[in-house]
Structure formats: C-alpha cells, structure tokens
Amino acid sequence: MKLNKYLFSTFIAASALLISSCSDFLDRSPQGQFTEDDNPNALVNGKIYNVYTMMRSFDITAGTPAIAIHYLRSEDSEKGSIPSDGSDVAEMYDDFLYTPTNGLLGSYWGKNYAIIYQCNDILDAIAEKETAGQTETEDIINKGEASFFRAYCYFNLVRAFGEVPLVTYKINDASEANIPKTTADKIYEQIDTDLKTAEESLPETWSTEYTGRLTWGAARSLHARTYMMRSDWDNMYKASTDVINKGLYNLKTPYNEIFTDDGENSGGSIFELQCTATAALPQSDVIGSQFCEVQGVRGAGQWDLGWGWHMATQLMADAYETGDPRKNATLLYFRKTDDEPITPENTNEPYGESPISPAMGAYFNKKAYTDPALRKEYTNKGFWVNIRLIRYSDVVLMAAEAANEKNIPGEAVDYLEMVRARARGTNTNILPKITTNDQGELREAIRHERRVELGLEPDRFYDLVRWGIASEVLHAAGKVNYQDKNALLPLPQSEIDKSKGVLVQNPDY
C-alpha cells in the first residue's frame, strides 16, 4: 500500500464529505427544484474530487449494475454465485431475456447521469469564471477532468442504450432534463468535443500526491476507445499511436503482478480509480469500493471473501494458448467440497490453497482477488483494491488492430508482439511471435489477443458487437437467445414513465 494512494484518496474523501449536502441530488434522477447555497466557484475543486468518488460507486464500476452490463453478456463471463442469488439478473444478462423493468438498468442509467450533471455543474461554474476573466490553472485542469468524465459516462450510455438524452448544461429544475433522445452520432460528436477539451487541458503527469488523477494519456486513450467502437480506424490509429509515441507508459510489470497490490499504478496503468480502506469497521465506499466484495470468492470461513458474482466460463479458460501465464493470473480455481484434493489443476493461489465454494461458475475472477495479509488488517471484502479502467496493453492492441485495418501489417505485428512478449516473459517456449502479414489471419490473432490479455475485463461484449460477430459467438457458446436487437439494452421503464412520454423506448422492446 503506497503513501501516494492514501493521499489522493484522502483528498477525494474530504471533498466528498465537504460537499455532500449540496450534491445529494446527483445520486438520483432529477426531481423537483434544485438549490445550492454554497459558492460554486469555491467548490469546483471539491466537486471534481467528488466525481472520482462517484466513479467508483456500486452502480457504475464496482457493483452488480456495471458487472451485469459490461461483463455478463459475453461468452467468457457468467453471473456466478448460486442459482438463487440474482436469478433475474442471470435471465436478463446471461440469457438475453431483456426486460425494461430490470432494476439494474435504472441504477446504471441514474449514476451515469448523476456524474454527467455534476460535470455540467462544474463546467458551468468554470465558464462563469472564464467570462469574468478569473480563470486559474486549476480551473483549466478541472475543466479537463469534468470533460473527460462527462465523455466517459456518455460513452457508457451510448454503447449500452444507443440514443439517449444529451444534457450538457447545468440543471436547475427537473423539467430541464426531460428532453427527447439524441442520435448516437450526436452523442459521439459531444464525446469527441469533450475529449478534445480534456486532451488540451490535462497534464501528462502528476506529482506523487496526486497519483491516480486524470492525465492527457487517459483522455487520449479513451478517445481511441471511442473511435474503436465506431470502427474509425484512422482516428483510432492516430489516438492510440499518439499515446504510445509519448513514451509515458510501458509493459514492464509482469502480468501476474498487474492486479495485485504491488501492481497498482504501475507503468502500464493509464487510469485506475484509487481505493483504500481503514482498520475500523464498517468499511466505506467513500474511500474504497465494493469491486472485490461483489466478485470475491463465495465461500465460508477463510474463503468468505465476497458474493461470488462475475465468474469465468470454461470457454474463457479454453481460449488461452498452452502455457500462457495469463490464464493463471486471470482465473482463480476452486473446489466444491473438502473431499476434492488440491491439485495443480485446481490451485493457482499463491499460498498453495484452493478455496471451497458452492458457486456455479467455472472459475472466480483472480483480477479481483485480495491479499490475505491485508484481509486480516482491514476486512475480507477488499475495499482497498484499485479499479483498473484503462491499461496500456489495451491501447497497444488498439494500435495493432487499427494498423491492420489500415493495411500496415508490419506495425500491427510489432504492436501485437509487444503484448505477447510481456506475457511470454523469459519463457521462449510459449506464445510464439505472430509473423503473418495476411490481414484476415492477423485480424483473428489480434482479436484473440484482446480476449486473453483483457480477460474478464469490461469490454469483451462490446468487442463482439463492433466486430459484427456477437450472434455467431454467443450462439456457439449456448447463449442462443441473443438477437441483433440485444446489442442495445432497453431504456429503463422507470425513466420512460417519469418522462411522461418524452422518452421513447428502443425498437423491439
């Protein structure tokens, strides 16, 4: 646990508590008249820190709404836990029996818009200072941060729902936010505008007391990701190679250390949410998150580490090439009973133990596994573990994919090899270099590499959708209910009802 992690988390926590009285309305959909007694200019810093707190909340990154929407819909993930725990979630997100009344939809929608409204508030306050000629350096940075987070949340929404309301102004009354849906193209135009602002406003690096705060690299990398979703190969190539050519990041951290406590804020981390914990109970998501609690081993005694949600399928395990060390760094093996012996096949826990669990998935997510020593110091639930949102290897693979689609095979091969070489380490007998210049073969190799390098991370389903192979892959995996319309979720029925007819449901729902 590094001191700088505590410092930035403390800044965020203090700011969140300071402005909680004036930001409570942001934690729900707008309703009634909003008032704010505090000086908006004086609170801009505190409000942007509060956005970091909101970002690691249960509904948007750490809990079941985010996990259901980002993870469970791919062939590599399933709900996990036990059948009676969240059976409605399994039916909707594993089996694609979508219903607009599903509660997780409203939670995810509401938290994304809560952050958007907070960012609008911040940007409005900064605009007032700009008009008055009172802009300071910190205002420029805050503008970049608010623009990034607004873009991040609109990207979440447009991928999940397609057309959504575009609100880019401060909300003083709920009626101001009750507007029709905007086309996806217009949403992406706003995302591009916001990320350009972020790229122009954010620094390349921060001093150690601000480790985890947004940077130019985070904005440019997110921009590459948004171009990737649109198959805009030229802009995706330019954004991803801009990040690579800056030389700010590296792939020196061994893969099996990336998601450990020692691997936090490593050279391959472009943006991760800073989390910490205290020895005093109960733990608080003001400074930590429930990311590991939700995905931790569902067991008893020493293996009661969490709820057991988001487990890997056997298909995920089978995707790895022979000897690929990323398999044991991603999948946490377990036994069903005491009678099952511990073997090399069911053990990859660093202390030679294998958890016992009644969970129904094939493997737990080892990227949410917690250090036993820190469990004793804090709690089994892992509130202190950072949430990795943008990794450098993802950006390198974006560059590889874009280069291949632009018919620059030599560059594509080189970028692909950067990722495979780090995974290979010193073992030259595994993960041979991909040398083909055939565009189709190289495309499949890059797609495979994204699957295993980013295994059990948030975007596999969206990769299947943008590649146009979701139906083929999911049907082959037994998720036969998937239809093309399921690429987009239905809008939450609760939001449609509140809009009194202004919001229109997505087609075929």
pLDDT tens track for 157-173: 999 999 999 999 999 88
Q: Which residues pair with 173 in a beta bridge?
A: 33
- 3-state DSSP call for residue 164? strand
Domain presence at residue 210:
no
**For residue 402, which of 197, 159, 236 has the smallest C-alpha distance?**
236
Last residue of a domain, one of 326, 357, 385: 385
Q: Helix, strand or coil for residue 27?
A: helix
Give me the pLDDT at residue 426, please.
96
Q: Round to whole Å and give the CA distance between 268 and 393.
A: 7
Greater pLDDT, 17 or 141: 141
Does residue 225 lie within any of the structural domains?
no
**The two three-digit tokens of residue 160, written as one number:** 């999940």
For the beta carbon of residue 425, count every other beta carbon within 10 angstroms.
13
Q: Are residues 47 and 188 in the same domain?
A: yes
Question: Is pLDDT at 23 greater than 70 in this prediction?
Answer: no
- Whether 319 maps to a domain, the answer reads yes
Show the CA angle centred on residue 36, arms to residues 35 and 42, nearest 5°: 165
**Residue 444 in this model has a pLDDT that exceeds 80:** yes
Q: How far apart are CA 157 and CA 472, in angstroms?
A: 25
pLDDT at residue 479 greater than cutoff 90: yes
Judgement on whether residues 181 and 47 belong to the same structural domain of the protein: yes
DSSP 3-state of 273: strand
Assess contact for 50 and 43: CB atoms under 8 A.
Answer: no
What is d(CA 85, CA 81) in angstroms, rounded to the nearest whole number?
7
Q: Are 292 and 260 in contact (CB under 8 A)?
A: no
* End position of a domain, from candidates 361, 385, 409: 385
Residue 228 has pLDDT above 80, yes or no: yes
Question: In this predicted structure, what is the pLDDT of residue 355?
Answer: 87
Identify whether residues 195 and 48 lie together within a single domain.
yes
> What are the backbone angles phi and psi of residue 356, rounded to the nearest 5°?
-110, 130
Report the length, in residues, of the chain. 509
Condensed to tens digits (0 to 9), the pLDDT of residues 375-418 reads 988 888 899 999 999 999 999 999 999 999 999 999 999 999 99
Q: Which residues pair with 324 in a beta bridge?
A: none
Kindly report the CATH number assigned to the domain that includes residue 150: 1.25.40.390
User: What is the pLDDT confidence band of residue 4, given thresholds at 50, 70 and 90?
Assistant: low
Based on the fold, state whether residues 185 and 302 are members of the same structural domain: no
| Strand, coil or helix: 391 | strand
Number of domains in the chain: 2
Q: Are 75 and 183 part of one and the same domain?
A: yes
- Taking the C-alpha atoms of residue 356 and residue 176, their distance in angstroms, rounded to an integer, is 52
Task: Determine the straight-line distance between the first and last CA of the chain, rounded to whole angstroms.
Answer: 47
pLDDT above 90 covers a percentage of the chain that reads 79
Within-domain flag for 95: yes
